[in-house]
Amino acid sequence: MFALEIRFLTGRYAAGRADAPGEAEWPPHPARVFSALTAALYEQVNPSPEDRNALDWLAQAGAPEVLAPNAAQRHLEEVYVPVNDVNALTDIDRHLDRLSTAMAESEGLEEEAAAKASREVKKLREKVRERSVATATADGTGTPENAVKILERRPRHPRRFPVMVPEHDVVHLRWPNQSPRPAVRVALDRLCARVARLGHSSSLVSMRLVEGEVEVVGRRLWRPDPDGHGFLRVPLPDQLRLLDEAFDQHQQVEPRILQADSARYLEARPDGTPVARAHSGFSNRPGEWIIYEVAGPPGGGRRTLLDLTLAQQVARALRGTLLASLDPNAPATLTGHGKDGRPTSRPHLAFVPLGDVGYPYASGSILGVAMIPARDLSVQDRDILLEGIFHAEQAAAADLGMRSETGSGRRLRLTLGRHGVVHLRRLAEPADRKTLTASRWCRPARRWISATAVALGRNPGNLRSRDPEVVGKATEAAEATVGDACTYSGLPAPQVVWIHRRSLASGAAAANRFMPFPDQGDGPRRVCVHTEIVFDVPVIGPVLLGAGRFFGLGLHLPADPPFSVGGS
């Protein structure tokens, strides 16, 4: 067993994810560490064969385990870099280049050749002098603005890069089943000693090779595993050769993402057993979600963007449209009603508006709606669902006067009474927009925050009383109800629940704006609250809780710090 130990000397790690450059990478990917070792190799003017062999050996050692603490993202890191590509004078680089080349070529020559080269150099020097004077003379030409840019008002370009601040300074990459032979060990450690940074030049590190046991100690452990949900970039077996070839191309000048392999990782406990992940009762498979985006009307025109507070109305309208196209004997997994017409308690198809929340400029608008079935939906029931959708879309196409050669046209039209009409178009392939992807709502996380308010199954009491004791009791009751809602949904009991009036997801409306729920029918009106829930194991979404969970209420957003192992 051996490991590479990385210490973050400045307490920060600044590197962007290869697949999402604006987002922070954490933990450091093994491929990046390999690149740093390769750079260390080439610091030597003549890299030694032992060092090269050692890196080849490392690349073939396969994907390592990663031991890393949690890290929090620094919220803003923006540097304004003054430009340097302004010139008030015409440049003479061409002539300088010729002179340099001639000077280099004139070294080590003999007699006649030396004399000739020397004359050439002299001629070029004269040219350079002449050009220097000519370009520097004040002759009335030139752009004053350029001189101003150099001397008085240097323009600056913003450069943003993500920075992570880890809880502890030490990360290990661990290979439990390999041990380098002495020559390789010495060479690898020698290379480690030369690595000064990982990522941006401000994330200074020190590295070394350690042998024997490395304890997990207050960190998390990820192991390569074909069943894993997360991805880390790791070196390919011939990574060194690939980096060499790539260098010929980029010469460390061009911006670049270097080739690497992508390995699946699974979080594990210190003893190596996989960390249990809990599933919600709903499907998390992108292929099983049926996602519609809000679109403009077929002939053209603007989309109707409704606020997420209208989630239940939109959900109910979509459900109504679907049910109208389903056989009256459609299964309870789709309708939510048993044969006797009474609501079923088993998980069934949920209609979930997906809102623009959780981003810095989020609008809180409904961007699409997803039909999310239960996890164990049978193949037959799925067929019935798809048929129902097909019929609904055909009917809509007819209503809209659309002629479509490609079947149903994939459109639906929802009428929402006084809120107007919403046009939906089913996505045939994964959306670019993250809000409309399953992975945004299902990414494994321990901490979840509500995007739409949770409708509590039991009235907790008066959360807005002036009497703090009443409020305290009501809050506790609400927290307990939310905890029960979790277990009722098939999730583990939460470690802690907080009740909030406002959502922690930016752009999402306050809880009271989701009320009344339900906004129709004779049933009791539910108290709606926002929540923040922490589980002690990672939970795979979607997390839909509370009395309104089949109608878009109680939808939660995973809110762990970005950990690039957690999947996209």
Partner 1 sequence: MSAPTLTYEILSEAVKGAAAAIRSRTRLQPVGGPGDKVFPPTFGETIDIELSNGTHRTRYAMERRRIDGKDILCVLLDSVASQANRMEEALQRAWDEGRIQFPIVRVNFTGQTDEDPRLDLSTLGGDGYLTSLETPHRLADALLRDSMLDGLRFRASEPGLAFTEASIHHATPVYSLSPNALVFGMWDSTGPKGGQGAKFQRALVSEVVGVGAVPGVKTASRIDPAGIEINAGPVFEAADAAEEWTVHEDEAATEKGKSIPFSRRGGEKAGKPSSINHGNVTPTIDSEAGGVTLDHAEQVTVLSLPVLRRLRFPKNVAGDPHPAEGAAEAETGARTALAALAVAAVSFQREEGFDFRSRCAFIAEGPLEFEVLTRDGASEGPYTLDSAGAITLVRKAAEAADELGMGWPSDPVELVPAPKLVELIRRSRKVAAVADVEDGED
In the complex with partner 1, the residue whose CB is nearer, 40 or 436, is 40
d(CA 56, CA 180): 12
The span of 20-28, 428-436, 460-468, 500-508 binding partner 1 (CB under 8 A) equals 500-508
Site residues for partner 1, 76-95, by CB under 8 A, read: 76-79, 82, 84-89, 91-93, 95
d(CA 7, CA 17): 20
Residue from 60, 118, 132, 178 that binds partner 1 (CB under 8 A)?
132
Is 11 one of the binding residues for partner 1 (CB under 8 A)? Answer: yes
Assess contact for 531 and 500: CB atoms under 8 A: yes
Nearest approach, Cβ of residue 171 and partner 1 (Å): 13
Number of H helices, E strands in the chain: 12, 24
Is 111 one of the binding residues for partner 1 (CB under 8 A)? Answer: no
Is 150 one of the binding residues for partner 1 (CB under 8 A)? Answer: yes
The span of 188-196, 316-324, 344-352, 363-371 binding partner 1 (CB under 8 A) equals 188-196
- Provide φ and ψ at 67, rounded to 5°: -110, 115
Q: Which residues pair with 5 in a beta bridge?
A: 172, 208
The span of 98-106, 265-273, 304-312, 400-408 binding partner 1 (CB under 8 A) equals 98-106
Nearest approach, Cβ of residue 351 and partner 1 (Å): 28
Is 174 one of the binding residues for partner 1 (CB under 8 A)? Answer: no
x/- site string to partner 1, residues 547 to 566, per CB under 8 A? --------------------
Instruction: Give the three-class secondary structure for 77.
Output: coil
Is 534 one of the binding residues for partner 1 (CB under 8 A)? Answer: no
Instruction: Give the three-class secondary structure for 223.
Output: strand
Nearest approach, Cβ of residue 442 and partner 1 (Å): 22
- State the sign of the Cα–Cα–Cα–Cα dihedral 459, 372, 364, 424: negative
Residue 541 CB partners (closer than 8 Å, separation 6+): 280, 282, 284, 441, 442, 443, 444, 445, 448, 556, 558
Residue 149 CB partners (closer than 8 Å, separation 6+): 83, 86, 155
Q: And the tokens for 251?
A: 């010469």
Instruction: Give the three-class secondary structure for 138.
Output: coil
Is 422 one of the binding residues for partner 1 (CB under 8 A)? Answer: no
Would you call 484 exposed, middle or buried from its count of C-beta atoms within 10 A (0-12, 13-18, 19+)? middle
Is 18 one of the binding residues for partner 1 (CB under 8 A)? Answer: no
Nearest approach, Cβ of residue 565 and partner 1 (Å): 19
In the complex with partner 1, the residue whose CB is nearer, 35 or 321, is 35
Is 151 one of the binding residues for partner 1 (CB under 8 A)? Answer: yes
d(CA 312, CA 383): 26
Nearest approach, Cβ of residue 149 and partner 1 (Å): 8
Is 340 one of the binding residues for partner 1 (CB under 8 A)? Answer: no
Site residues for partner 1, 247-266, by CB under 8 A, read: 251-254
Is 154 one of the binding residues for partner 1 (CB under 8 A)? Answer: yes
Residue from 59, 99, 171, 243 that binds partner 1 (CB under 8 A)?
99
